[in-house]
Amino acid sequence: MKNNIKVERAIKSLTQEDLANKVSVSRQTINAMEANKYVPSTVLALKIAKVFNKTVEEIFILEKGD
């Protein structure tokens, strides 16, 4: 699964730390998601989408093989 958290973050000019605080996770988690090393839970995906005022599908995209 791909995501464009990094792009959305840049648009809103949030740092990883800011976003982490908004969804109450550690900065490592945001970092791991942006590096595609971690697939978030549904709850976290929904929370992130809410921060960016977008739907989950606009931020998280399925890839071939998923």
Partner 1 sequence: MSNKLLLPNRYKKIGWAILIPSTILGVILAFHEFGEAWMHAPVFAMANDGINDNYKYFTVSDANITNTVIGLLFIIGAMLVSFSKEKTEDEFIAEIRLSSLLWAVCVSYILLLIAFVFVYGSPFLDVMVYNMFTVLIIFIIRFNYILYKNTKTAANEK
Strand partners, 57: none
Q: Which is nearer to partner 1, 33 or 49 (CB)?
A: 33
DSSP of 7-46 = HHHHHTT--HHHHHHHTT--HHHHHHHHTT--PPPHHHHH
CB of 51 to partner 1, least distance (A): 15
Q: Which is nearer to partner 1, 9 or 64 (CB)?
A: 9
Task: Say how many residues touch partner 1, by CB under 8 A.
Answer: 19
User: Does the protein bind partner 1 through residue 26 (CB under 8 A)?
Assistant: yes
